[in-house]
Amino acid sequence: MSIDQPLVLGIETSCDETGVGIVRGRELLSNALASSVELHARFGGVVPEVASRAHLEAMLPTIELACSQAGVSLSDIDAIAVTAGPGLVGALIVGVASAKALALGLGKPIYGVNHLAAHVMVDELEHGPLPEPVIGLLVSGGHSSLIKVSNGDFTSLGQTLDDAAGEAFDKVARLLGLPFPGGPMIDQAAQNGNSNAINFPRALRADPAHAFNFSFSGLKTAVARWVKEQQRLGNAISVPDVAASVQEAIADILTSKAIAAAVDQNAPHLVIAGGVAANSRLRALAAERCAVAGIELRIPSPTLCTDNGAMVAALGSHLFRVGAAPSPVDFPATSTLSVNEVLF
Ligand code: KG4
Ligand code: ZN
């Protein structure tokens, strides 16, 4: 075992993906994933109890797959990391209990870590050590947050007051009759649409009390109203135009607030992560605006942006290397963990 290059296995079960990843230092060795998204599709969203049961079934095969893909055996592992929160509590419990059993069985340290911090830290696997201070924009079906990482500390600058950005994509897609998860569908439909066709609201754009907070529930209502009005008038609805206009509104508000945060905090680096970071317009607009503002933009590959085990392993590896004390064996799964609690 090397302290500089620990072999860390990370387990992620906060939502509907059972992820097990293995890293050596900052090198990604494997990232096995079992998703229950198809089980939830007919409900139009994630059903917590269904997700928990799916995690239970997928856990052992996913651990085995991660080890075989990495070419390591469990006895080689130096430490276990697991998402302790935030997330769906029943789903988190499956990961936390499995990780504790592994750590106790192998006699290895365990790190119960924060899911949001892991989303930022995964970028190290592709782009090297995180520069500090850095701003993290986390946008997924469950969260929309702006985070600052400085001197190893994670601080929340702001978050959504209601729906997450991915939730907004999913709800608008549903209104348009597109299947769940709706984000990729909107992205695809928008390719043939006009993003200036409809001027949907950019909530909290000029509210100094909420400079780094977001609100997306009004956007869904605005789209519903617009669709109803067109139907009342007997106008044909162009799904590509609505998709492109909604996508523009979301990408615009996310990038303008993230860049404002980077300027305000004197942090010339921005990492975007979470499932919505796969959005093509968000990526393009962020690149354009960061270039103008002189901010370095880092976006992990889509498979590392969505929930996965490698991000948890990356944060565990970081904590191991800086000599953080492992978590006590009785740490809980905490659905509402705040981002400044990186480690239990
Ligand atoms: O990070 P993630 O896989 O799971 C959590 O929610 O934690 O994110 C899933 C979210 C869904 O809301 C999905 O619609 C959205 O990410 N998403 C996208 C795109 N790909 C996934 N949203 C917009 N454009 C995309 N290309
Ligand atoms: Zn996530």
From the CA of 173, give the closest atom in ligand 1. Answer: 14
Q: Which CATH superfamily is domain 132-300 in?
A: ATPase, nucleotide binding domain (3.30.420.40)
Could you tell me the distance, in angstroms and rounded to a whole number, from the CA of residue 137 to the centre of ligand 1?
14
Q: Which positions ≥6 away from 240 have C-beta within 8 Å?
A: 189, 190, 191, 192, 193, 194
Could you tell me the distance, in angstroms and rounded to a whole number, from the CA of residue 165 to the centre of ligand 1?
8
Confidence of residue 177 (pLDDT cuts 50, 70, 90): very high
Ligand 1 pocket test, candidate residues 303, 306, 308, most atoms within 8 A of CB? 306
Could you tell me the distance, in angstroms and rounded to a whole number, from the CA of residue 306 to the centre of ligand 1?
7
Confidence of residue 8 (pLDDT cuts 50, 70, 90): very high
pLDDT, one tens digit per residue, over 242-284 is 999 999 999 999 999 999 999 999 999 999 999 999 999 999 9
The answer, yes or no, to whether residue 38 has pLDDT greater than 80, is no
Please report which residue ranges of the chain form alpha helices under DSSP H.
37-41, 48-70, 89-106, 115-121, 123-127, 165-175, 182-190, 217-233, 239-264, 280-293, 302-305, 309-321
* Site residues for ligand 1, CB cut-off 6 Å: 15, 140-142, 166, 169-170, 181-184, 187, 274-276, 278-279, 306-307
Name the residue ranges covered by the structural domains of the chain. Answer: 7-122+308-321, 132-300
What pTM, to 2 d.p., does this model score?
0.92
CATH of 7-122+308-321, one of 3.40.640.10, 3.20.20.70, 3.20.20.140, 3.30.420.40: 3.30.420.40
Measured from the Cβ of residue 313, the count of other Cβ atoms closer than 10 Å reads: 39
Among 45-49, 180-184, 239-243, where is mean pLDDT lowest?
Answer: 45-49
Confidence of residue 176 (pLDDT cuts 50, 70, 90): very high
Angle at 222 between CA 221 and CA 226, to 5 degrees: 115
Could you tell me the distance, in angstroms and rounded to a whole number, from the CA of residue 74 to the centre of ligand 1?
31
Are 7-122+308-321 and 132-300 the same fold in CATH?
yes
Confidence of residue 47 (pLDDT cuts 50, 70, 90): confident
The answer, yes or no, to whether residue 82 has pLDDT greater than 80, is yes
Report how far residue 224's alpha carbon sits from residue 203's, in angstroms, rounded to the nearest whole number. Answer: 16
